[in-house]
Amino acid sequence: MRVIALLAFCSTMVGCNTHFDGLKIVHSVTHELPAFHPVDVTNPDKFANDLKLSPLWKVEKNSQGIFEAHARAITPDSASEKMGRMFLFELLSTPGQNPPKNYRINNRYIDGSEDAFSSFSAYIVFQKPTDSYVSFCENDKEVTLGVYDSWEHKLGLNSLSVLAIKISKAHEIYLLIHEQGIDSQRATTFARLPSIMRAIADVVELPSTYRAEEQYRRFYQLFFDYPLKDKELKRLPGIQGRDTFYGYFKVQPQTNYEGVNIRITHPVYCGGECTLGYERLNKAEYLGKPYQDFDFLFFLIEDNAVYLTGNYDKDFGIFSGTNSFDAKLEVLNADGEVLIESVDKFKGWER
């Protein structure tokens, strides 16, 4: 059986748009499926919780309120550096592999070199995809990918392939693989499929109970000082002042770690909240329920913009201003409870 995957425009900054007009085929490629580890999720609730506990996946809710688990990636901070672009699970599964010297972790995609692809992403959904551009792949010998574009009549940086693989026999759970760019062979999709499936199998095969801090100890040792504290918050500068905040909590009894989000406030320069409530809640991360007391949970919330009121752009705007101001930063849960609180310096994001 041949599977046709519909491809469309996808921004590497904001992820894939789910509404496409004027799609036209610009290319197709038939490729033999590589061998990969078989996966069958038999307990969806445990699988979802294990993905939440893992620092290698970011679990959030889509617009329908259904969980999605996005594979986190690590890339060098320099656009000219072509080495070290990988998923976090690929980094940790490679003995002796260390992060790039100046790295960035994101929740969505791997940046690619322009001569191969512009972005690549993988995520798990807990419902059957209904978008027409998504194709369903069975474990057959070959797959035909049709490459579509909504802007060009030939392969371009916006040409996108979407491939869905069912990872549960009894439940509607799917791996979605997106590759965007000019590679006519879609080599990244097929080359990385085995490592993605292996990473999913690692989660499926976790024991019934375990300690997440021990299971992912190498991750914590690579990115934080050891031994771990009760909590820690770090910051990575983002484009145009839209920064990333990440860290961990030592889990406290009776505390909810679902819906973790970032709120930034200043009573004068922002008139209260500097972040937008709906925007931060849309990016909230669901960290799950550990199987053992006082375990550790990792979070990473990226692309946090600060919005100023009045004429404060001239003083604190990322383009117009030369100054920064102190604002309160809070890490909240879905109940609005403050989990971490600090004061940091910010500049306003100008549209």
pLDDT value at residue 332: 97
pLDDT at site 46: 98
> What pLDDT sits at residue 13?
31
Give the pLDDT of residue 8. 29
Q: In the 3-class helix/strand/coil scheme, how is the chain assigned residue by residue?
A: CCCCCCCCCEECCCEECCCCCCCEEEEEEEEECCCCCCCCCCCHHHHHHHHHHCCCEEEEECCCCCEEEEECEEEECCCCCCCCCEEHHHHHHCCCCCCCCCEEEECCCEECCCCCCCEEEEEEECCCCCCCCCEEECCCCEEEEEEEECCCCCCCCCCEEEEEEECCCCCCCEEEEEEECCCCCCHHHHHHHHHHHHHHHHHHCCCCCCCHHHHCHHHHHHHCCCCCCCEEEEEECCHHHCEEEEEEEECCCCCCCCCEEEEEEECCCCCEECCCHHHHHHCCECCCCCCCCCCEEEEEEEEECCCCCCCCHHHHECCCCCCCEEEEEEEECCCCCEEEEEEEEECECCC
The predicted structure's pLDDT at residue 160: 85
Q: What tens digit of pLDDT does each residue of 285-301 get?
A: 999 999 999 999 999 99
Question: What are the sequence ranges of the domains in the chain?
Answer: 10-204, 223-346
Ranges in the chain, pLDDT < 50: 1-20, 114
Residue 171 confidence (pLDDT): 98
pLDDT, position 2: 31
Fold of the domain built from segment(s) 223-346 = Immunoglobulin-like (2.60.40)
